[in-house]
Structures are given as C-alpha cells and as structure tokens.
Amino acid sequence: MAEDWIYLGLLHYPVYNKQKEVVASAITNLDLHDLARLSATYQLRRYYVINPLELQRFLAEKLLLHWLEGPGKEYNWTRTRAFELVRIVADLNTAIEEIKEASGTTPKLIATTARKTPGQIGYAQMKEILKNNPSQSFLILFGTGWGLTREFLENEVDYILEPIQGRGDYNHLSVRGASAIILDRLLAIDRNQKSGQNNSSKGVGK
C-alpha cells in the first residue's frame, strides 16, 4: 500500500445529462471494473462509488459480492484484489468522514472536468502538491453523465484540474479513459529518473 492518502471517487450526483439537466446517473459495470483496477494499479487507498439511488447501490453491491465472496473470487483473483478497494456509499459526506477517520485529516477534494473553468490547476502543479503533502488526504473526484455541475465545482471542491487536451477539438472521453490519463499524470513513477538510474547502473557494470 502506498504511504500517501489518495482516494478516488466516482460521483453519480450532481451531474448533467445530455440536456444539461441535473440528474443522478446509473452505476455501470465497466466503471466499477475499470476504475477498481486503476485504483489498484496506482495504489490508491480506496475507490468510492457515490450514488444516492438505493437500487443502484444494491445492484452494485451484488456485483461486488460475486468477485469478493462468490465464484468470481476463484475465477480471477486479480479482479478480487481490485474490488477489495471499492466502497459504495450514498453521498460524498460519507466518503469524506470515512477518509477523515482513516487518515486523520479532512480530505482535499480534487475535481475533474472536461470544461474550462476559472482557477483550474495544471497537472504538474497538482502532482507536486500530492508529493509534498503525504500526510494530507486527497480525494480525486470524477463525474459521470455529462460531467459534474458548475455549482458543485464552484462551491464544493478545493482544486479543479485543467481539462485533458488532445490534438484536436474532440473532447468526449469516457470517465474510464479520462481517469486513466489523469491518474497516470498525477501518480506515475518518474520514468526519466528510473531510466537514468538503469543507464547509470549499466555504465558502472562496464
């Protein structure tokens, strides 16, 4: 387990639908699986699936039981290991209180969005903040549907990451694709440093 206190949260409310109405979106099987595996890969403390709809939480819990206690546990141990990080809760405050109890700090909330918003922070700067504050807990929040609402971004979070910018004007990544890119930018090992160490070792060997 990583020494820092970094968590992931997938928010299903408050988000927009295609008509820009504020809704609670459905939990999807792919989001459960793929973000759990990302959380395990980047050694996050926990992956919170946050949804106010009781039936949605019930269905997600049933799926988790398949991999944690049912036939899935024998079929694919790697999926079981990833799903051990998943916690399904009704609201963001529940996640915040659990993180506070575990880490001893109130988590700083880092929001993601595909929209340009005033005061957004760059990935290099955010990575330094995470690196330099290992005792502080952080919760990285991803929205479902058509993204987290403007009011939530303006009033509820500590940081808003800048949008992922591709090579053109297309800007409609799935939350699974966006979260993979963002987690790698924030939490990946220093590949240049590692490469340099390997080259140095080879040089000494000669």
**Per-residue pLDDT, 3:** 74
pLDDT at 205 over 70: no
pLDDT in tens, 23-52: 999 999 999 999 999 999 999 999 999 999
Count of domains in the chain?
1
CATH number where 133 lies:
3.40.1280.10
In this structure, what are the phi and psi dihedrals at residue 87, rounded to the nearest 5 degrees? Answer: -135, 125
pLDDT in tens, 67-100: 898 888 888 888 899 999 999 999 999 999 999 9
pLDDT in tens, 99-155: 999 999 999 999 999 999 999 999 999 999 999 999 999 999 999 999 999 999 999
* Helix (H), strand (E) at residue 69: none
Q: Per the confidence metrics, is the pTM higher than 0.85?
A: yes
Q: Which domain does 89 fall in, by range? A: 5-205
3-class secondary structure, 65: helix
Residue pair 161/123 in contact (Cβ under 8 Å)? The answer is yes
pLDDT in tens, 177-198: 999 999 999 999 877 765 555 5
